[in-house]
Amino acid sequence: MPKRKDISKILVIGSGPIVIGQACEFDYSGAQACKVLKDDGYEVVLVNSNPATIMTDPGLAHRTYVEPVTPEFVEKVIAVERPDALLPTLGGQTGLNCAMALVDSGALEKWGAELIGAKAEAIRKGEDRKLFAEAMKRIGLEVPRSGYAYSTGDAEQLIGDLGYPVIVRPSFTLGGAGGGIAYNRGELVDTVSQGLALSPISEVLIEESVIGWKEFEMEVMRDSADNAVIVCSIENFDPMGVHTGDSITVAPAQTLTDREYQQMRDASIAILREVGVETGGSNVQFAIDPATGRMVVIEMNPRVSRSSALASKATGFPIAKIAAKLAVGYTLDEIENDITRETPACFEPSIDYTVVKVPRWTFEKFCGTDETLTTRMKSVGEVMAIGRTFEEALGKAMRSLENNRGGLGADGRDRFVEHKFDEHLAIPNEQRLFYLAEAFRRGRSIEELHAITHIDPWFLDRMRTTVGIEQQIKGRDLSRIDAEELRSAKRAGLSDVQIAWLTDSSEHAVRAARKSLGVLPTFKVVDTCAAEFTAITPYYYKTYEEEDEVVAATKPRVVILGAGPNRIGQGIEFDYCCVHAAYTLSEMGYETVMVNCNPETVSTDYDTSDRLYFEPLTLEDVLDIVDAEDPIGCVVTFGGQTPLKLAKALEAAGVPIMGTSPEAIDLAEDRRRFSAVLNELKITYPSAGTAESFDEALQVAERVGFPLLVRPSYVLGGRGMVIAYSESYLERYMAEAVAVSSEHPVLLDKFLEGAIEVDVDAVCDGESVYVGGVMEHIEEAGIHSGDSACCIPPYSLGSETVTQIRAHTKTLAMRLGVRGLMNVQFAIKDQGIYVLEVNPRASRTVPFVSKATGVPLAKVAARVMAGEKLADMGLPPDEREMVRFCVKEAVMPFGRFPGADSVLGPEMKSTGEVMGVADDFPAAYAKSQLAVDYSLPVSGTAFVSVSDRDKRQAVSVVKHLQLLGFSIMSTKGTARALRAAGIPVVEVRKKHEGRPNIVDEIANGNVQLVINTPFGQQTRSDGYHIRSAAVRHGIPNITTISAASAAVQGIEAVKEGRLEVCALQDFEQYR
């Protein structure tokens, strides 16, 4: 069937901010969908609150609404735009839930919009476990035995049938949120009550445990003519019991006989038919009892998912793109396979390599949380690696994680907790793979390790083989290793770094030895068809084989180094910049070569760049690509810290670095050199010092005084950064928190308590500087810029201050020799303007600034790096007045990490961001809050407990709340201050003052808003319980007084009903 002509305008719903369980894979899928629908002549309307996405680039859809992805706002968009259809299957669970809410409320029917991609009935059947289980029964498929619980009592009753352990799955939550495994009654009660609280319908499923079973996923596509194909099978390395998002996974499935595989294939297709997924992609999960082969269906997602992004990258089959085409009526056989261009998309990819995905966790950011991997997803990102064999891909994945590891151990960084060695094997955790490899080094058997871990012996055998190869080299002299052995080591996935450590030589020496022995890598093509047909698309991976398939270039090449796995501090924003660089440089006539290892991203879409290398971003891998491509330039300043840290070594290896030189980067990043520059320019900065020991730190403290902002040098995302208010705290920090060395000293800055922070993004071409945006932070200094909300234009700063900030920015850019993007952070205190730091690279805020101002900064910077001048680009004047207010707000993952403190500080903890747009600041701020929390209380009780420092300011904020109709509840000290100001307050106990206390009040639903500001270290433990309770019960929780003030203004805006929707294309500043 050709495309539908009865619809012309389609609304696409995005997935909102990046959160755990829902990352940029939905930008990848949504961007593909928008592109394909637009190309097909449809008018595309998009709603997504996440400004860091490619899909919200104003060119991608006809009408782009950066608005909260909530039924309320989406309906407003529908009312304005009147689309014929709504495509809900590409925006993750958020998009799907939102669409279903619109169906249920009758809004879709009211406005005459039809759901395409998946019908409401099918979504319900796929998502509702009860309906799903019934559907499976109808088609004769088994699901694990289970029952529903609406109370802990129900759950305990079910245990009678099922026995421990059981899996607890709350209905309708994201990425398994609130779920878990219960081995005993205590755990059951805890998990169930938490799950009931998180489930929007207060329902949890208690399920027979299939822990330890083999786990598989099938990515299926079906069209309106009932043609169905399996795009990819995925086998989990980690058996059942670990959330798929937290599992190491392998494609294709490795240990299924054809009979088992076909049984699973038949089941998958039957499930799509029965559930009624008429068009599009779905993913179906299975578990298999390794002893008997008994197969049970775990679940299905009637939408594009994280796994489908992985499957797309793993096979070259663009699931989202095709799902969008199917949604508008095409059938699979009418769609061409992009990669071969001669065969149809109606086939099943065959792959002649092995793909391994490894999740990336950031537990170090959330001290106090349980690091065990369970059915609740905790990872914040992932890497994918392609090798011909499993072991090669695994080795590559392990060095892609940006955790300083050279591979699967054997890199000099292995550390094992000896007395808990087997515990680390038995209980799934972040380090398990390293323990496994070490167990093999220690001679333990596959049988034993299988018994401990339940990991399939096939995977264990391949790991053991790799360790064997590694051990053959260990302790040998590099010069005595011949070509065949070296080649076999490389084929087993060992990195040069590992070989260097094993042979006590250097990475450089290994590379030289390899080259002289002719042990050189080859690049192969990901072509969907195992080389059966000619592939057009240059999508490469590296392996050690005989034939290289890199095609000769016709144009000068530019290598763009991506950002690697998403992690806190380095997210989608950098990918956005890399994608823009690729688009721009391609337009300028270069052949763009993208290097990245993150399967969730738009940058690793083969459509984004002219050539794609799905490879780790290590020196070895990048140099190999440089050898293959011989580029005229390499872009290292767009992918965040990952490529930046390679800059010096790449330059030393003779790779031409585009834009800002490594020397200039060093000038800005080396604190001592940078201070000298600031002194020379007579720009003020907080007094500071560096220290290599506690004594030295103390000297600095005496000179500049407490409080101090303390951090290790060369960090991103504020890793290990704290504010020290006292000597004893500083001592503890120096002793425990960081490994200090002369190479990596600790930086100590005077902390400007109460200062206003300002971020500036600018582009410099060596002749002039374009200030892209001046962002005023809402939270005061001391909160990591990535975690604080900010506003364009500045909402409280005087124009003189802003002028001064611009002037400083320009002076700095010119003096440092920036060629491209630069970010400066300022602090304003007592009329003084201080420079906190300069990052001569793309910053996290570049996409936000670009969306807010309409000037695509990353593109401008890419042009500059290619030699164009700012003056020739016809940019609007950078000091023009911004009519709309745009607020960026950070999204925190605390709900995923019970036990971790939710207070904000100098160490970044947010996973993503949203943008709120309105004609005034309060309304824009309100929208940003609604986009994060999906609710802002408009009535009820506000609990206020603030530090002494904040008490005076709190009065006006609380008065405003009271005027808005809120009742106020406070602990003793704050209550006294508020009463003194004439505000009626209900007093409540602190946790340690007995019961009932504030934690009980929160648990009982008597509090709708929490304002709790800690100060210094002393009040933190008190507030910790309050904040944890707020996080656990999903109550908005504000930890700074400035944010509270903004929030109250926002609540007022909500109450006044001033929150209208507006498309980016209508922005005054875009004209």
Partner 1 sequence: MTRSKALLALEDGTVFHGFSCGVAGEVDGEICFNTSMTGYQEIFSDPSYAGQIITMTSPHIGNYGVNAADMESRAVFARGFVVRALSRSPSSWRAEGSLRDFFVRHNVVAIEGVDTRRLVRHIRECGALKAVISTVDLDEESVVAKAKASPGLVGRDLVAEVAVSSAYRWGGLVPGGGVPADIGAVPIKPDYRVVALDSGIKYNIARQLSEVGCEVIVVPPTTPAETILEHKPDGIFVANGPGDPSAVDYLFETLRILLGKRPVFGICLGHQMLGLAVGASVFKLKYGHRGANQPVKNLRTGKVEITSQNHGFCLDFASVGRLDVAESGGLDMDTADLRAWVQAGVAPVVRSEGFGRVQLTHVNLNDMTCEGIRLLDVPAFSVQYHPEAAAGPHDSRSLFKEFVNLMKAGA
Q: Please give the residue ranges that form the binding site for partner 1 (CB under 8 A).
A: 225-227, 229, 233, 252-262, 265-266, 290-293, 332-333, 342-344, 346-354, 388-390, 446, 456-458, 461, 524, 529-534, 545-547, 549
* Beta carbon nearer to partner 1, 426 or 446: 446
Of 132 and 317, CB closest to partner 1: 317
Using the minimum distance from each CB to partner 1, give the nearer residue, 334 or 692: 334
Q: Which two tokens stand for residue 459?
A: 């995977």
Q: Give φ, ψ of 714 to 5 degrees.
A: 50, 70
Residue 248 or 930: the one with the smaller Cβ distance to partner 1 is 248
Which residues, in sequence order, are bridge partners of residue 790? 777, 888
503 neighbors 473 (Cβ within 8 angstroms): yes
Q: Which is nearer to partner 1, 532 or 948 (CB)?
A: 532
- CA-wise closest residue to 722 among 285, 497, 1020, 947: 1020
CB-CB contact of 12 with 34 (8 Å): yes
Residue 79's CB is within 10 A of a number of other CB atoms, namely 12
Q: Label residues 344-353 b or e (16+ Cβ within 10 Å = b).
A: ebbbbbebeb
The smaller minimum CB distance to partner 1, of residues 333 and 767, is found at 333
> Which CB, 344 or 876, lies closer to partner 1?
344
How do strand 381-387 and strand 354-360 relate by DSSP bridges? antiparallel
| Rounded least distance, CB 315 to partner 1, Å | 11
**Residue 332 Cβ vs partner 1, minimum distance, rounded to whole Å:** 7
Amino acid, res. 440: F
Distance CA 735, CA 724 (A): 13
CA distance 566 to 662: 24
> In the bound complex, what is the minimum distance in angstroms from residue 224's beta carbon to partner 1?
11
Question: What is the DSSP annotation of 457-472?
Answer: HHHHHHHHHHHHHHHH
* Nearest distance, CB of residue 272 and partner 1, angstroms: 14
Which residue, 349 or 840, has its beta carbon nearer to partner 1? Answer: 349
E strand spans, 171-222: 180-182, 204-208, 214-222
DSSP letters spanning 532-545: SS---S-EEEEE--
- What's at 1049, amino acid-wise? Q
Q: Rounded to an integer, what distance in angstroms lies between the CA atom of residue 668 and that of residue 139?
A: 64
- Residue among 189, 234, 196, 199 at smallest CA distance from 215: 234
Minimum CB distance to partner 1, residue 330 (Å):
13
Q: How far is the CB of 223 from partner 1 (least distance, A)?
A: 9
One-letter amino acid identity for 666?
Answer: D
Q: How far is the CB of 303 from partner 1 (least distance, A)?
A: 23
Least Å distance, CB 111 to partner 1, is: 35
* HEC letters along 222-241: ECCCCCEEEEEEEEECCCCC
Shortest separation between residue 297's beta carbon and partner 1, angstroms: 18
What is the DSSP code (8-state) at residue 552? P
Comparing CB distances to partner 1, the nearer of 109 and 532 is 532
Instruction: Give the C-alpha separation, 892 to 903, whole Å.
Output: 10
Output the smallest distance, CB 545 to partner 1, in A: 4
For residue 318 the two structure tokens come to 């663009």
Q: 207, 213, 210, 212: which is closest to 161 by C-alpha? A: 207
Q: Which is nearer to partner 1, 87 or 251 (CB)?
A: 251
Cβ proximity to partner 1: between 281 and 937 the closer is 281
- CA 959 to mean position of chain CA atoms: 38
Tell me how far apart the alpha carbons of residues 537 and 992 are, in angstroms, rounded to a whole number.
Answer: 64
Report in angstroms how near the CB of residue 421 gets to partner 1 at its nearest: 24
Task: State in angstroms the smallest separation of the CB of 218 from partner 1.
Answer: 12
Shortest distance in whole angstroms from residue 383 CB to partner 1: 20
Helix (H, G, I), strand (E, B) or coil at 48: coil
Q: Which is nearer to partner 1, 347 or 416 (CB)?
A: 347
d(CA 890, CA 912): 6
Q: Enumerate the β-bridge partners of residue 289.
A: none
**With respect to partner 1, which residue has the nearer C-beta, 213 or 770?**
213
- Residue 262 or 1018: the one with the smaller Cβ distance to partner 1 is 262
Q: Residues 914, 934: contact at Cβ < 8 Å?
A: no
User: Considering the complex, what minimum distance in angstroms separates the CB of residue 343 from partner 1?
Assistant: 5
SS3 96: helix
